[in-house]
Amino acid sequence: MIDGIGDSQNVALGGKTYIEEAKTPSLDRILAAGLSGVMDPVETGLACGSDTAHMSIFGYNPLKFYQGRGSFETMGAGLELGYDEIAFKCNFATFDSTTGIVTKRRVSRNFYMWGLPIIDAINNLPVTGFENYIISVKHATEHRCGLKITGPNLSHKIEGTDPLKDNLPLFVAKAWDENDADAVKTANIVNAVSKMLYEILSAHPINHERIAQKKSPANILLLRGAGVRLNVQKFDEKYGIKSFFIAPTAIIRGWGITLSSEIIEIPGTTGDVHSNHQAKFDKALELLKKEYNFGFLHIKAIDDLGHDRNIPDRVNLLEKIDGMIGTAVDALDNCVIVVTGDHSTNAYIGDHSFEPVPFVMAYAPSCSGLVPKVKYSEVECAKGVLGRFPGHQVMPTIFKYCSWIDY
């Protein structure tokens, strides 16, 4: 799963997409040897998030089961989450208290290189004014962390504080329904948390030092996607498989935890551009030769580079990942390989977009030695026999294809 793999044509590339620009001989082979199409992760025309996209693709209808993104992020960061707690996906950000403006939603993708001691100052604290409620915080990826609130009668049915774009006012948490007493109280608690965190973080020596160096301080947490832990059927039980997840990115790891799949930890894999992607492929090959018959390998950084509008590095990274895919394909015996994404991330706008994502799958041995006459791209995948289809058909399509293979 290459997070954010899809894109649209870009004038910086002479009207090509970055996938068309990249040299992808391994994906070319998979396209030529197997089946292809383009997939709308949730539904046509929706620029979805990774959370609802993964739910749909794995066969868990987000319109039925979704209850907020925060639970995935928080469990993936390593915090245990009870069914009566609420959790948030959070960004360390920069806030100007004189104007009320969030000047930088992402203080720095390298936050984890300098800011981790800040987390110790805000972990395991009672909420000012609501002392019977406790917050717990743990780092997730880059500038992100998971935060949970523990206490009675909490509700996830609230809007968070994240304005979602730079240079907009910090949002005030509000209940979806002002007649919902639990939601109204929870929103008040969240606003108290936001105020308390700003006061603590603003006083932290690391932020004083950053200001002295004319760098943006990590002086606030933006609380987004209030959620509760889902109670859904185990993935392996649903499909009669034995699966593993390799997903250093917290939100996707949290989704794997929700599904009760085996979570594989690999040193050096961070979920960002500095991640040891080769170690993920090596471990997946090792596990598939043992007791597992379904592996899920997640790659995040293509999405990050799309958000950052960094086309050259996006092309380069896709080419590197393609090389790793090729090595894996050549090493796989009696396996089907599937490569797709959870949504498109449009480098022109720097955000998720509604374009469908390319989808290819093939019996790995059939790719060996193949000299393809077609170039992997969004357009070429769209010409495939699978056509354009919704995400909830992914798993049935994979298992149907597997049933056709003469192993």
How many Å apart are CA 319 and CA 23, to the nearest integer? 6
**Average pLDDT, stretch 253-281?**
94
Residue recorded with tokens 């989808």: 359
pLDDT digits (tens, 9 = 90+) for 138-174: 998 889 999 999 999 999 999 999 999 999 999 999 9
**Average pLDDT, stretch 275-299?**
95
Count the Cβ atoms, other than its own, within 10 Å of residue 198.
Answer: 16
For residues 287 and 280, the answer to whether their CB atoms sit within 8 Å is no
What was the pLDDT predicted at 25? 97
Q: Which long-range contacts (CB under 8 A, 24 or more apart) does 111-119 make?
A: 111/142, 111/143, 111/218, 112/139, 112/141, 112/142, 112/143, 112/270, 114/206, 115/143, 115/206, 115/218, 117/206, 118/92, 118/201, 118/204, 118/206, 118/207, 118/218, 119/145
Q: How confident is residue 271, by pLDDT bands cut at 50, 70 and 90?
A: confident
Q: Is the pLDDT of residue 277 over 70?
A: yes
pLDDT digits (tens, 9 = 90+) for 60-94: 999 999 999 999 999 999 999 999 999 999 999 99
Q: How confident is residue 189, by pLDDT bands cut at 50, 70 and 90?
A: very high
For residues 317 and 306, the answer to whether their CB atoms sit within 8 Å is no
For residues 37 and 359, the answer to whether their CB atoms sit within 8 Å is yes
C-alpha distance from residue 64 to each of 46, 59, 61 (Å): 17, 11, 5
CATH topology of domain 11-64+242-404: Alkaline Phosphatase, subunit A (3.40.720)
What was the pLDDT predicted at 407? 63
What was the pLDDT predicted at 270? 85
Residue recorded with tokens 């008040």: 188
For residues 134 and 127, the answer to whether their CB atoms sit within 8 Å is yes
pLDDT digits (tens, 9 = 90+) for 226-260: 999 999 999 999 999 999 999 999 899 999 999 99
What was the pLDDT predicted at 362? 97
How many Å apart are CA 65 and CA 235, to the nearest integer? 14
Domain ranges, ordered by start, for the chain: 11-64+242-404, 72-227
Q: Is the pLDDT of residue 406 over 80?
A: no
What was the pLDDT predicted at 142? 87
